[in-house]
Amino acid sequence: MTKVMSTPDQTLNEILNLAATHFKVPREKLTPDDDFFKTLGIDSLQALDLLTRLEHHFHIELPDYELQGVSDFRTLAGRIQARL
């Protein structure tokens, strides 16, 4: 089976969908440049939870230092895309 590479837009969209579902925020309220700490109303422990969910979803390993200073979905998607 050939694995189809996600495009950056697909990756971003999947992150937004996952975040909306898990944190019970309407999907239409999330935009790529949102500060996800503020938009999702999450703290550092919930951010780790999000990181773990993203690792499972994309089947990647994302060291947390790669997320240092990252707070918007678009940059997060870029970090994930670099490991797909």
Partner 1 sequence: MNQFRGQSLSWQLKDGVVELALHREPCNEIGSIALEDLEKFAATLQALEDEAHTVIIYSELKSGFCAGADLRELYERSQQMEKQAAARGVRDFLERIHRVMNAIDASPLTTIAAVHGVTFGGGFELALTCDLIVADKMARFCFPEVRLGLIPGFGGIPRLKRDLGNAVVRDLLLTGRSFNATKAQQIGLVSQVVAEGEALRVARATAGQLGKFDRRTAAAAKKFIKPIPHEELQQEIGLFCELFMQPTVETGLRKFVESTDAQPYLP
**Tokens in use for 78?**
């870029």
**Which neighbouring-strand residues pair with 45?**
none
For partner 1, the closer CB: 4 or 65: 65
Smaller CB separation from partner 1, 3 or 65 = 65
Residue (27 or 38) nearer to partner 1, CB:
38
Residues 12-71 that bind partner 1 (CB under 8 A): 37, 43-45, 47-49, 51-53, 55-56, 61, 63-65, 67-68, 71
Buried b (16+ CB within 10 A) or exposed e, 39-74: bbebeeeebeebbebbeeebeeebeeeebeeeebbe
Q: How far is C-alpha 17 from the geometric centre of its chain's CA atoms?
A: 9
> How many residues bind partner 1, per CB under 8 A?
19
Q: Which residues are near partner 1 by CB under 8 A?
A: 37, 43-45, 47-49, 51-53, 55-56, 61, 63-65, 67-68, 71
